[in-house]
Structure 1
């Protein structure tokens, strides 16, 4: 029951995890909605635009591994506090010193990677307060913080138009600082913290083939979500000649759809099982991406397809993290980092490949089509492991919890 869920955990921590995740994701994809403005000012090629918006996802992917280690050794709250201070300091430095070159945008992208690494903090911070029967809901609510990408798409182009895009870096520090204070007051580490393990113990997780499957599955669902969130403003401006502000509105609508559906994906996985939910996600996502790759002439049809695929991928994000804590509850910190790494790599690939496809062929067709193929590969992989999962570790979880 819903009331059982709220009584079973620590509500202030869940809210703090959501807020931290929300503003962190807001700045993580900040370069995406600003990309049309930056590219025009710095005269960037399509490949440079793709790389610029992809670097924060790759940096975030790598730093999620670091955060996964720190979460298990010093706790999620301290790890999150360190990351927030680095992001605030880095953005303020960029604002004060100014960013006037392509190399400078890449450096800012690395700083923003620390915000993307919040994934490996916020989810275990919330997850460790809840039992297996509530993992989908808890992870879904905390993970809904990826809705912060909506705010970036909505407000970054408007602020850049009014004050210049460099000023947006400094303005972003205001909500970051407010949430940092709330986080320090509200967040609390669960008393059910695993004992710190020697570093070599983390390598053993990678010997488990299930860890690699989860990295692939999330590389498609979250990678698709964040890759599109970073690239849609560029796509709408280049293909339909929209202004950056209007393109930001369209991007915000798509990102909102994916963020809104994430907790429902986790709840659906709690009800019918994560495997069934993910199977449907991969089928629908692959079909929609193929349709997008055909480059519909209508702006309305294109927007509808992007809304559908973002909502589908958002549901998949929730479903993956209904399964991960059941399989790796004692290693949830490092697994959150590893799975998040897979998601970040997927996002880096999609965003950069769209730019390369545009530069090499004059169209983004192949970028979307290849990612649709990755979704089908994930579906084949899920089909190959589902029987083993259900008859091994799936049979040992708490009665009534479905995988």
Structure 2
């Protein structure tokens, strides 16, 4: 569990690294709002797609070996970016694509931790391992400060230090659970998706919760800078408060879902997120009020992330590696659409309000979908699962 958490934590730190650096990058490379949003959104999309392939590799050679290979690739990418520099929009996009490997750590860390625990403790176990997304807090707090002191390119080199230390700990401490895991192919992913509505529902639900968390975590530094004139450090600190709330609530959300059921937890999450984001879109109050609204929003989304993965192992225990990759991919796609969409909306309308209204509407749609299928899930799963639905 410790190895999975630490690996996930540091991976999320570098996956998110371009988000807190976006203001400095945009100024240095003369990027417009839409290009800036694309730079921070590309790692999310890359991570989403690569999760499928890391999931397959983890099933084939083991999560431990896969994690080690992925960490090495990310370290090399950051080292090259530090030594060679990032001098254009295209180079920033290329680095973002490579940092997606760190985002794909989702498909390594969660199965590595989950396979050690029985169904009734899946929400708590997955929540604790998944709380590694708190690594985004480190990036939000320290990356802008280090960029001011040493330049944004130096941040890439400095990030290699904790990654190398984490690689050593992971190599020494990570252990595979003593369970049989069959190798998966792309056709197996297709089998899970074809004719299986539950898989699609889970992907949609997680695209809202994790997509909202990742998308806002990447977009908020730029949002706070544009909306309230925050400098990069202050924007990073405000974003860190939001991200920390969401990260801490992930294991709590999993634990709550173990106690009262994942569907009940998610219904509450979607209702609260709808109200909070809609209020932020109305621009009621000043900067402090808006930051508080986003802290509460990401707190709810973090709880929702834990709740989704309390439910997933109950429905797809035999295909946990497959569904983890698919659901994780959908969460990344949701984050990409939110982060990129916020920039597109701002570029063409001059305001972020429309983007916030759209996300609030999607959260409300999630509430409606889950309200319609919760009874069927409870009836179908209660006979085969010891955990609460």
Partner of 1:154: 141
* CA distance in structure 1 between the partners assigned to 2:172 and 2:95 by the alignment: 29
Aligned equivalent of 1:101, options 79, 83, 88: 88
* CA distance in structure 1 between the partners assigned to 2:367 and 2:180 by the alignment: 34
* CA distance in structure 2 between the partners assigned to 1:21 and 1:390 by the alignment: 31
Instruction: Give yes or no for the alignment of 1:59 onto 2:39.
Output: no
Partner of 1:85: 72
How much has 1:193 moved relative to structure 2?
A: 2.9
Partner of 1:71: 58
* CA distance in structure 2 between the partners assigned to 1:305 and 1:75 by the alignment: 41
1:377-388 correspondence runs (5 A): 377-388=365-376
The SS at the match of 2:51 is helix
Q: How many residues align?
A: 388
The SS at the match of 1:295 is coil
* CA distance in structure 1 between the partners assigned to 2:322 and 2:351 by the alignment: 39
Partner of 1:4: none
TM-score normalised to the size of structure 1?
0.95
Where structure 1 has 5 or more consecutive residues not aligned to the other structure, the ranges are 1-13
Partner of 2:152: 165
Partner of 2:189: 202
Aligned residues of 2:184 and 2:322 also touching (Cα < 8 A): no
* CA distance in structure 2 between the partners assigned to 1:193 and 1:266 by the alignment: 25
* CA distance in structure 1 between the partners assigned to 2:255 and 2:368 by the alignment: 24
Moved more, 70-79 or 219-228: 70-79
* CA distance in structure 1 between the partners assigned to 2:4 and 2:321 by the alignment: 14
* CA distance in structure 2 between the partners assigned to 1:197 and 1:257 by the alignment: 35
Moved more, 379-388 or 245-254: 379-388
1:150-299 correspondence runs (5 A): 150-197=137-184, 199-207=186-194, 208-299=196-287
Instruction: Give yes or no for the alignment of 1:28 onto 2:15.
Output: yes
How much has 1:195 moved relative to structure 2?
A: 2.3
Partner of 1:111: 98
The SS at the match of 1:231 is helix
Change (3 A) 1:300 1:198: closer
TM-score normalised to the size of structure 2?
0.98
How much has 1:379 moved relative to structure 2?
A: 1.3
How much has 1:199 moved relative to structure 2?
A: 4.3
Aligned equivalent of 2:353, options 352, 365, 386: 365
Q: CA RMSD in A?
A: 1.0
Q: Structure 1 stretches (4+) deviating beyond 4 angstroms? A: none
Deviations 1:245-272 (A, max 9, x none): 1111111111000001111000000000
How much has 1:197 moved relative to structure 2?
A: 4.3
Where structure 2 has 5 or more consecutive residues not aligned to the other structure, the ranges are none
The SS at the match of 1:172 is helix
Aligned residues of 1:68 and 1:338 also touching (Cα < 8 A): no
